[in-house]
């Protein structure tokens, strides 16, 4: 159980998710400004900035809330930990998901304002296609497996680097450029920039992410049947950095 006051954890999830989306959207705007004729270079600039920002944000907010910044991570934490009496409670899950979603919207608005754009400008970038949804299933399932494998094997200390690296890589190996996050998906609908997604495309992405959550949780349970015992360590240990002592055990 996390001893940190609930309001502090929710504030950390709100602020962390907001800054993550600010990094995603802001780096996308900067990339299109600096490299207007090279989409590949734009994606490289966007993915590198996102990966580094995510790692830094996990280090910053992890000791307070676990630095989930993602409703599917929080949902997996609740689901996998409930039998062992660890991880988030159902009430925590609802609070985290709401804080993350509001933070993501705030992050898009902040990025828009920093680049002298309309505070809210809904995206016109259509991302509705079966192969993109499949990409989101793969990206989300891999993210869940990575995070909980690190927690169960006592390697939560490397989560900032590992999660940042995974998301940075998944920008390139998935067809969807790896949103892998319902809150971030909703937030990115509020900006008509490189990182945006049309509001009509959001439901398909969110459903695919939920399928990825189920697949990732099932695979994690198959590979690490005792993972629920480590749910309090997701994403970063809540006790100031002490990792569980079950390294190497499933």
Per residue in 129-145, pLDDT (tens digit) is: 999 999 999 999 999 99
List the domain boundaries for the chain.
Answer: 6-233
**Positions of the chain with pLDDT lower than 70, given as ranges:** 1-2, 237-250
Q: What pLDDT score does 239 carry?
A: 53
pLDDT of 143 reads 98
Helix boundaries (H) for 35-89: 39-65, 71-81
- What residue spans of the chain are helical by DSSP H? 6-34, 39-65, 71-81, 90-114, 130-152, 159-173, 182-187, 202-223
- Write down the pLDDT at residue 192: 98
Q: Are 143 and 219 in contact (CB under 8 A)?
A: no
Measured distance CA(14)–CA(23) in Å, rounded: 14
Q: How far apart are CA 140 and CA 7, in angstroms?
A: 27
Q: How far apart are CA 196 and CA 3, in angstroms?
A: 37
- Which residues does 38 contact at the CB level (< 8 Å), separation at least 6? none
In whole angstroms, what is the distance from residue 18 CA to residue 6 CA? Answer: 18
CA–CA gap between residue 62 and residue 184 (Å, rounded): 18
CATH-assigned architecture of domain 6-233: Up-down Bundle (1.20)
Burial of 191 (C-beta count, 10 Å sphere; 0-12/13-18/19+): buried
The C-alpha atoms of residue 3 and residue 222 are separated, in whole angstroms, by 30
């Amino acid at each position: 159980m996390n001893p940190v006051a609930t309001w502090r954890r929710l504030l950390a999830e709100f602020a962390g998710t907001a800054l993550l989306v600010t990094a995603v959207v802001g780096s996308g705007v900067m990339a299109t400004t600096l490299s207007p004729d090279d989409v590949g270079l734009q994606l490289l600039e966007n993915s590198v900035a996102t990966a580094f920002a995510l790692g830094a944000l996990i280090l910053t907010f992890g000791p307070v809330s676990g630095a989930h910044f993602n409703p599917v991570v929080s949902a997996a934490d609740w689901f996998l930990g409930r039998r062992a009496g660890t991880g988030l409670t159902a009430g925590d899950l609802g609070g985290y998901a709401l804080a993350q979603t509001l933070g993501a919207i705030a992050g898009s608005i902040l990025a828009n304002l920093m680049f002298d754009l309309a505070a809210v400008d809904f995206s016109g970038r259509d991302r509705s296609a079966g192969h993109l949804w499949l990409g989101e299933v793969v990206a989300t399932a891999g993210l869940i497996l990575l995070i909980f494998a690190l927690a169960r094997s006592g390697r939560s200390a490397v989560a900032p680097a590992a999660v940042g690296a995974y998301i940075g890589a998944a920008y390139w190996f998935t067809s969807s450029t790896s949103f892998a996050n319902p809150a971030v998906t909703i937030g990115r609908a509020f900006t008509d920039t490189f990182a945006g997604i049309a509001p009509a495309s959001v439901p398909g992405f969110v459903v695919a992410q939920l399928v990825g959550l189920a697949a990732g949780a099932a695979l994690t349970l198959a590979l690490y049947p005792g993972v629920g015992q480590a749910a309090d360590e997701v994403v970063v240990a809540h006790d100031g950095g002490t990792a569980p002592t079950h390294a190497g055990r499933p």
